[in-house]
Structure 1
Amino acid sequence: MTPTSKHSDLLNTLNQMKEHNLAEGPASAELRIDRLQRAIKLIKENHRDLSDAMSKDFGHRSAYQSATADIATTIKLLKDAIENLSAWMQDQPVEAPEPGMKAWIQNQPLGVVGIISPWNFPINLSFGPLASVFAAGNSAMLKPSELTPKTSALLAELVARYFAPEELTLVLGDAEVGKAFSALPFNHLVFTGSTAVGKHIMRAAADNLVPVTLELGGKSPAMVDEDADITQAVERTLTVKTFNVGQICISPDYMMIPENKVDSFVEAAKAFVQHSFPSMQDNPDYTSIISDNHYKRLIGLLEDAKKKGANVISLAPEGEVNYDDKSRKIAPFLIFNVTDDMDIMQEEIFGPLLPVKTYAKPEEAIAYINNNPRPLAAYYFGDDTERQKAFARNTISGGLVINDAMTHVSVETLPFGGIGPSGMGAYHGIHGFKRFTHEKAVVLQSKEGASGKRLRAPYKDKQAALEEMLDS
């Protein structure tokens, strides 16, 4: 099909879903819970097949990582929505200005929500937003990534088995299909991916005035303060940097450490990686880079840094290669003496490469973070309460974790989203429910209608009373 016909077919599907929503009326609490339960059932009954498909798409992916991040975490989000749905759906009364008048906020479904999900966590970043979308009473069209074709094809088969097309429709296709998808007149559009693509998504949505939620990533910093336990900071940062081999939107993208901590930092990093991954190329716990293009891009970032004077330290196990073209497995690297003219300090890395900058005073680190685009997440290591508060107050990011990395994403009661170049809007828990509903103002006028009568002519008597009030 040509892009034009793809758009017309997609538009026809969307219009049918909108017509069905209007005909059926707002989804009841029972129907919303049923959809959420079916989503859980889809994932639980097919989790092994889904994990196997994800591993094949990656070349190799740790089964534990898939079970943790894509299966268990997603089920937890869906269950949280079920448990809290009744409370979320209640109208919210507000104080009325006149006796006898009543006012409240009604949470109303938006309609049909479009979701464009990425490849790095294909289940979590499809069904995570769906938990909020379904809880809010909407239906959805889902476009998963073409970079995980086996997982996307399996999802298409499963979605058709567990859901009616007017509830959830999955669209397969390449970037051209994605372009046509983003141009549809959804009632809301969710996109997870790069900042560069996010700009195109927002531009396409603007033609139809479609509101968007964008989760875009960026370069998330980790600052190690002078009083921090350097070993703890290294271990907790590298835990995330090696999980899914750093192919995570909130993976630490660079670290800022005191200049006198370099040797202890390197020593702790080597010890941690050796303990966690005594081998890598034949280790089922160590995941591959998603594609040849992404693999080559990461090697290019590394080579560019070397050419421009960086001190590159491989954390590959002794006797193993640093990276292998066939397995697409890249060992973790520490990159010191980085400068802003290096590509690795300008692009979101999305891999096991960790630039490390040093500072003489903590203020230098905070200034550097603030002089760069606002990140999706920031991480601070240090035990002094006042300095923790100062870092939180003086830096701006989508989320902040103190003395750990990535922990905030698993707390359903917290909003998850970016700010500025790292995104807009947030979801998870009640925040997702609110994101995908319209808070409609409702007023029930009193029998006397006093607040409305003040607008009726003649105004002569009312004018005198009004002026007296204004002059008092």
Structure 2
Amino acid sequence: MTKPAEVGVRTGDKVSSETHTMEELLEIQRAAFLRDGIPDAKTRIDRINRLQALLLDNADEICEALDADFGTRPRELSISADVAGCMIDLTHQRRSVTKWMKEKNVSKIQGALGFTQRLRHDPLGVVGIMGPWNFPLQLTIVPAGSAFAAGNRVLLRPSSITAKTTEVIAKHAPDYFSIEELAVITAKHGGGADFSKLKVDHMFFTGSPEVGASVAVEAGKNLVPVTLELGGKNPAIVDVDADIDDAAKFLADARMVNGGQVCLCPDYVFVPENKIGEFTDKVIERWTTNYPSIVGNKQYTSTINDKNYQRIVGLIDDAVDLGATKRQVIPAGEKLPNDTARKIPPTLLTGVKAGMKIEEDEVFGPVLTVYPYRELDEAIDKINSAGHPLTLYWVGKDNDRMAKVADHTRSGSISGNDFAMHLISHGLPFGGVGRSGMGNYHGEFGFQTFSHARAVTNSTLPIKFAELMSAPFTDRDTKLVDRQMAMFRRFLRGSIRKNAKR
């Protein structure tokens, strides 16, 4: 039986999470979870409402902090991605949680005969959520909303790289939540490696495959289940009859979202060989139009820090040194790349080959690599040799060639003709596969990720299964198992015949 939580935010109870260690916060939340029991729908909805209010009430301060963390990040992007962008899934969680949490009768006919079977969706307990720096709120708050919908308590650890943004959330969180419900973990508590060692009931991580692997190792030592939302080099394929102008505009724009610092940005693109010159010209034309200035342009997102800035510049230089051709959009009178502003010009590379570092590394910056192809199999083989990406972009009609790509590749998702549209769908999951991640969330998928599907049975049948499965075994038991074997052999023969006629 679910019930309201006994503790919310009370007068005089606005305690900062920084007054406790991570381990103490975990024990505080676990004790509260056991004390209050499974929260009812009203409590869960109230927590999601307060999570939305935390962002909406402090949106201006959040945007200022994001701008300061990045160096330059447009307010419009921060609102649409890290504030308003969270509301889509949080609102769906709030509206649907009452339906999702209901106990389900999975077999009415057998129940009427005396064998009732029900399915519960119980909360796990305390969930740890580790977020990245590129969208420090979108990628922590949205999973936190799913965890609340499922009835859990949350330890939230935004990235230390976006320290000013984390500071804002940590400062205001006690106005909306008791630390028994939501506690914000900051650099003062320790590093991400320390957080990954906590014996939470589920660990949710978004970030690079390399760090994700270490999180999984630490969580595995405690048998803590993990969800890993990782990155990867996302390919795009331009179909042979696609409109090249539309394709170039779309991929040029998609590459530059958040300065290219998105796990879903297209990293490299395959273009029909006879159209590659036209495509590259139009990409450069689009970038030239969109970015008449860069260094002083507040709408051009800076690279997050010097480490990543130097890494991306190094990838470009390495490719060029080894024979790749570079085209960049550099407005007149500007010196780019610019170390001070940490701004790298939109860069298009052709002639990239094996042995160049950019062939292996996820760029996570304003660089697009273009490859020609004659046959679709060339693109498919190249994609499959690079590991499973988080998404795969298709530019063209929903046709047999798109179906062939879907059937012969693996990726977390497939996005046709637009950027990351599955993020705003209530009916689709977000997550990777293989090196790009494990597990998913958004919509009911998030609710299920942070729930335990718990089977409940009750039998009033005249025959006990326990009796049938234990000695002494009688002639009746022998005849029963022989009949079962004969029945299943007959079923199998019928299936083989039926399948042969397909």
Name the TM-score class by shorter chain.
over 0.9
Q: Which amino acid aligns with 2:43?
A: L
Q: Which amino acid aligns with 2:50?
A: R
Partner residue, 2:3: none
Partner residue, 1:426: 440
Partner residue, 2:12: none
Pick closer, same or farther for the CA change 1:442–1:261 going to 2, 3 Å: same
Question: 60, 63, 83: which one pairs with 1:71?
Answer: 83
Contact 1:144 1:172 in 2 (8 A): yes
Which string of whole-angstrom CA distances, capped at 9 and with x for unpartnered residues, describes residues 197-254 of structure 1?
1111011001101000001111111111211111211211121211211100111111
Partner residue, 2:191: 177
Question: 195, 220, 232: which one pairs with 1:218?
Answer: 232
Partner residue, 2:292: 278
* 1:260-275 aligned within 5 A: 260-275=274-289
Which string of whole-angstrom CA distances, capped at 9 and with x for unpartnered residues, describes residues 168-223 of structure 1?
11111179521111011110001111111111101100110100000111111111
* 1:70-469 aligned within 5 A: 70-95=82-107, 99-173=113-187, 177-383=191-397, 385-446=399-460, 448=462, 450-455=464-469, 458-469=472-483
Separation of aligned partners in 2, 1:459 and 1:390:
55
Pick closer, same or farther for the CA change 1:92–1:280 going to 2, 3 Å: same
Contact 1:240 1:406 in 2 (8 A): no
Which string of whole-angstrom CA distances, capped at 9 and with x for unpartnered residues, describes residues 124-174 of structure 1?
011011111111110110111111111011111111221100101111117
Q: Secondary structure of 2:21's partner?
A: helix
Q: Secondary structure of 2:454's partner?
A: strand
Partner residue, 2:65: 53
Contact 1:314 1:322 in 2 (8 A): no
Pick closer, same or farther for the CA change 1:267–1:318 going to 2, 3 Å: farther
Contact 1:70 1:123 in 2 (8 A): yes
Q: Secondary structure of 2:191's partner?
A: helix
Partner residue, 2:7: none
Separation of aligned partners in 1, 2:231 and 2:189:
20
Pick closer, same or farther for the CA change 1:141–1:175 going to 2, 3 Å: closer
Deviates further, 254-263 or 89-98: 89-98
Question: 30, 47, 55: which one pairs with 1:35?
Answer: 47
Separation of aligned partners in 1, 2:131 and 2:354:
31
TM (norm. structure 2) is 0.89
Separation of aligned partners in 2, 1:471 and 1:409:
48
Deviates further, 278-287 or 44-53: 278-287
Separation of aligned partners in 2, 1:292 and 1:178:
20
Pick closer, same or farther for the CA change 1:366–1:467 going to 2, 3 Å: closer
Unaligned runs of 5+ in 1: 1-5
Contact 1:50 1:154 in 2 (8 A): yes
Q: Secondary structure of 1:302's partner?
A: helix
Separation of aligned partners in 1, 2:463 and 2:90:
45
Which string of whole-angstrom CA distances, capped at 9 and with x for unpartnered residues, describes residues 296-337 of structure 1?
111111111110111000023344333211111111100000
- Following superposition, the deviation at residue 286 of structure 1 comes to 1.0
Pick closer, same or farther for the CA change 1:464–1:347 going to 2, 3 Å: closer
Q: Secondary structure of 2:267's partner?
A: strand
Contact 2:72 2:299 in 1 (8 A): no
Unaligned runs of 5+ in 2: 1-17, 487-502
**Amino-acid identity (%):** 38
Separation of aligned partners in 2, 1:467 and 1:111:
42
- Following superposition, the deviation at residue 452 of structure 1 comes to 4.5
- Following superposition, the deviation at residue 461 of structure 1 comes to 4.8
- Following superposition, the deviation at residue 451 of structure 1 comes to 4.0
Q: Secondary structure of 2:60's partner?
A: helix
Separation of aligned partners in 1, 2:454 and 2:357:
47
Separation of aligned partners in 1, 2:352 and 2:427:
37
Pick closer, same or farther for the CA change 1:451–1:97 going to 2, 3 Å: farther
- Following superposition, the deviation at residue 384 of structure 1 comes to 5.5
Separation of aligned partners in 1, 2:170 and 2:485:
68
Separation of aligned partners in 2, 1:457 and 1:282:
83
Q: Which amino acid aligns with 1:129?
A: P
TM (norm. structure 1) is 0.95
Contact 1:146 1:175 in 2 (8 A): no
Separation of aligned partners in 2, 1:384 and 1:163:
46
Partner residue, 2:31: 19
Q: Which amino acid aligns with 2:349?
A: I
Q: Which amino acid aligns with 2:21?
A: D
Q: How many residues align?
A: 466
Pick closer, same or farther for the CA change 1:440–1:45 going to 2, 3 Å: same
Deviates further, 55-64 or 280-289: 280-289
Q: Secondary structure of 1:249's partner?
A: coil
Q: Secondary structure of 2:187's partner?
A: coil
Contact 1:61 1:288 in 2 (8 A): yes
Pick closer, same or farther for the CA change 1:353–1:471 going to 2, 3 Å: closer
Separation of aligned partners in 1, 2:482 and 2:409:
49
Moved over 6 A (4+): none
Which string of whole-angstrom CA distances, capped at 9 and with x for unpartnered residues, describes residues 357-412 of structure 1?
11121110111101111011110112251111111111110011112232222223
Partner residue, 1:3: none
Q: Secondary structure of 2:407's partner?
A: helix
Separation of aligned partners in 2, 1:379 and 1:86:
35
- Following superposition, the deviation at residue 87 of structure 1 comes to 1.3
Separation of aligned partners in 2, 1:81 and 1:397:
26
